[in-house]
Amino acid sequence: MTRIKLLFALTCLLLVSLACALTPTATPTTLPPTDTSPPVTDTPSGPTATPGECTITANSSLTIYNRPSKSAQEFSTQGAGFSIQVTARTADGWYGFDPGVAQAANTGVFRLRWIDSSDDVTLSGDCTGQPVVVGPQPTICYEMPMGTVDVHDSPDASSAVTASLHTDDYAAILGKTSAEDWFELDLAQGNSGLSGTGWIGSADLNMNGPTCDSIPVVTP
């Protein structure tokens, strides 16, 4: 009986040993490294203009004018490669830029110099988004107020105020009194959207134009 128990115990021990030997050993799983690099995106080739900016570049010799007309006074001539950022345009294709020179008495569009887009130039950027302005005519003398100016219906400070001009507005000067203390304006020849004529005192006078030295004397 004792021998049988011994054989039984040995048999159980053998079966346990075989079971352990046949149990597969787990192999640790190795995960791939995490990719921390940014995703790849397509990058457009060539220069990209800053939104809202417009640049005009001369492809050959280029004439720049004081006003948006080829009959206006010439400001300068630039060679091929000249490039400048423009800040305004006219409805008929002229592009204006500030030349960065001292202009203490000039305001608004009178600070700009002008390039004709029909010349040999290249436009780049948001050029159609530039503000459209009314450019001054080449041979007219204009009043360009430095602040708000009252326009009277006659050359008399006590007369009725019929309109007002503001900074960056302008209107054509038609004539002056013999004493040169009042100047008559044509409000329709300008950018204010006003119409009719009126008078401003000499204290409010700020002129710009090639004919300002020859303003005629008129009778009110």
Tokens of 206: 């700020």
Angle 73-82-108 (CA atoms, 0-180°, nearest 5)? 50
pLDDT tens by residue, 203-218: 999 999 999 999 999 9
Nearest CA among 150, 153, 197 for reference residue 171: 197
**Which CATH number does 54-125 carry?**
2.30.30
Q: Which fold has domain 142-214?
A: SH3 type barrels. (2.30.30)
Domain spans of the chain, in order of start: 54-125, 142-214
Is 54-125's fold the same as 142-214's?
Answer: yes
Length of the chain equals 220
pLDDT tens by residue, 98-146: 999 999 889 999 999 999 999 999 999 999 999 999 999 999 999 999 9
Q: Which residues of the chain have pLDDT under 70?
A: 1-51
